[in-house]
Chain A
Amino acid sequence: MVRPLEEMFPRLAGSGYRVTSPRDGDYNCIAWAAGDTHLWWWPGQDVVKEYWPAGVPRERTRDAFIAAFASLGYTLCEGEAQEAGYEKVAVFEDADGRPTHAARQLPNGLWSSKLGRAEDIEHKLHDLEGALYGSVMLIMKRPIPHG
Chain B
Amino acid sequence: MAATPVKQTPNTPTETVEARFHRFAAAWHRDTDYLSSMEAADRHPAYQEIIGLGVEVVPLLLRDLAENHTHWFTALEAITGAQPISAADAGNIPRMADAWLRWAKDNGYRW
Within 8 A of A (CB), among B62-98: 68-71, 73-74, 83, 85-87, 89-94, 96
List the B residue with the shortest CB-CB distance to A32: B36
With a cutoff of 8 Å between Cβ atoms, the chain A residues found around residue B94 in the complex are 26
Residue-by-residue, is A1-34 near B (CB-CB < 8 Å gives 1, otherwise 0)? 1110000100000000000000101111111000
- Please state if B93 and A48 are interface contacts (CB–CB under 8 Å): no
With a cutoff of 8 Å between Cβ atoms, the chain B residues found around residue A132 in the complex are 1, 34-35
Given known contacts A25-B70, A26-B69, A117 and B33 CB-to-CB distance under 8 angstroms: yes
- Please state if A41 and B68 are interface contacts (CB–CB under 8 Å): no
Asked if A38 is at the interface of the complex by the 8 Å CB criterion, the answer is yes
- Please state if B30 and A3 are interface contacts (CB–CB under 8 Å): yes
- Please state if B32 and A40 are interface contacts (CB–CB under 8 Å): no
- Please state if A2 and B90 are interface contacts (CB–CB under 8 Å): no
Asked if B26 is at the interface of the complex by the 8 Å CB criterion, the answer is yes
- Please state if A48 and B89 are interface contacts (CB–CB under 8 Å): yes
- Nearest chain B CB to A28 CB, angstrom units: 4
- Please state if A25 and B89 are interface contacts (CB–CB under 8 Å): no
User: Within the assembled complex, what's the spacing in Å between the Cα atoms of A40 and B73?
Assistant: 13
List the A residue with the shortest CB-CB distance to B87: A48
- Nearest chain B CB to A81 CB, angstrom units: 26
- Please state if B90 and A48 are interface contacts (CB–CB under 8 Å): yes
- Please state if A51 and B91 are interface contacts (CB–CB under 8 Å): yes
- Please state if A116 and B1 are interface contacts (CB–CB under 8 Å): no
Q: Bin the interface of chain A by size.
A: 35 or more
Across the interface, A38 reaches (CB within 8 A) one of B1, B37, B71, B92, namely: B92
- Please state if A118 and B90 are interface contacts (CB–CB under 8 Å): no
- Please state if B86 and A48 are interface contacts (CB–CB under 8 Å): yes
- Please state if B70 and A39 are interface contacts (CB–CB under 8 Å): no
User: Within the assembled complex, what's the spacing in Å between the Cα atoms of A42 and B35?
Assistant: 11
- Please state if B85 and A50 are interface contacts (CB–CB under 8 Å): no
With a cutoff of 8 Å between Cβ atoms, the chain B residues found around residue A42 in the complex are 36-39, 91
Asked if B29 is at the interface of the complex by the 8 Å CB criterion, the answer is yes
5 closest Cβ contacts across the A-B interface? A51-B91, A39-B91, A116-B34, A2-B33, A28-B36
Q: A3-B33, A48-B83, A116-B36 are in contact. List 10 more A-B contacts (CB 8 A).
A: A25-B68, A38-B92, A40-B93, A42-B36, A42-B38, A46-B38, A48-B96, A49-B73, A50-B91, A60-B37
